[in-house]
């Protein structure tokens, strides 16, 4: 079954304590990205990766890091979380070829609260 798997699904953490949200896909997709969802703002892209070792900033990258050492994995790293990073996070993946109508697959989301 085609899947994008995120962990953890729910996390409450304290300001400044480094955390990593993992993302893994089993579809051999080249393109992966992270979004955050906030009320009234929709989803906004944080970082994306077009392939292994190729990453770039999205619209709201401040306070986040990513890495793409393997094709299937794209972890999101919060080096020093702050309360304004409390949000619902989604990982997504898609193949690079085939046209813009290709389906983009989303994970189930990770609820992160920073206190």
Partner 1 sequence: GDSVTQMEGPVTLSEEAFLTINCTYTATGYPSLFWYVQYPGEGLQLLLKATKADDKGSNKGFEATYRKETTSFHLEKGSVQVSDSAVYFCALRGAGGTSYGKLTFGQGTILTVHP
**Token reading at 56:** 């770039």
**Token reading at 23:** 């993302």
Under the binding rule (CB under 8 A), the answer on residue 99 touching partner 1 is yes
Cα 115 from Cα 103, distance rounded (Å): 36
**Token reading at 81:** 């979380």
Selected binder of partner 1 within 31, 34, 64, 74 (CB under 8 A): 31
Under the binding rule (CB under 8 A), the answer on residue 107 touching partner 1 is yes
Selected binder of partner 1 within 2, 12, 56, 80 (CB under 8 A): 56
Under the binding rule (CB under 8 A), the answer on residue 79 touching partner 1 is no
Q: Which is nearer to partner 1, 63 or 109 (CB)?
A: 109
**Inter-residue contact 75 to 20 (CB < 8 Å):** yes
């Amino acid at each position: 079954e085609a899947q994008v798997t995120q962990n953890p699904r729910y996390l409450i953490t304290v300001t400044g304590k480094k955390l990593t949200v993992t993302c893994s896909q089993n579809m051999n997709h080249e393109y992966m990205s992270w979004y955050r969802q906030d009320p009234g703002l929709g989803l906004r892209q944080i970082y994306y990766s077009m392939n292994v070792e190729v990453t770039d900033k999205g619209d709201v990258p401040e306070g986040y890091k990513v890495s793409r050492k393997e094709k299937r994995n794209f972890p999101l790293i919060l080096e020093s979380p702050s309360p304004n990073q409390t949000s619902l996070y989604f990982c997504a993946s898609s193949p690079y070829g085939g046209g813009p109508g290709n389906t983009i697959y989303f994970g189930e989301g990770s609820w992160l609260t920073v206190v």
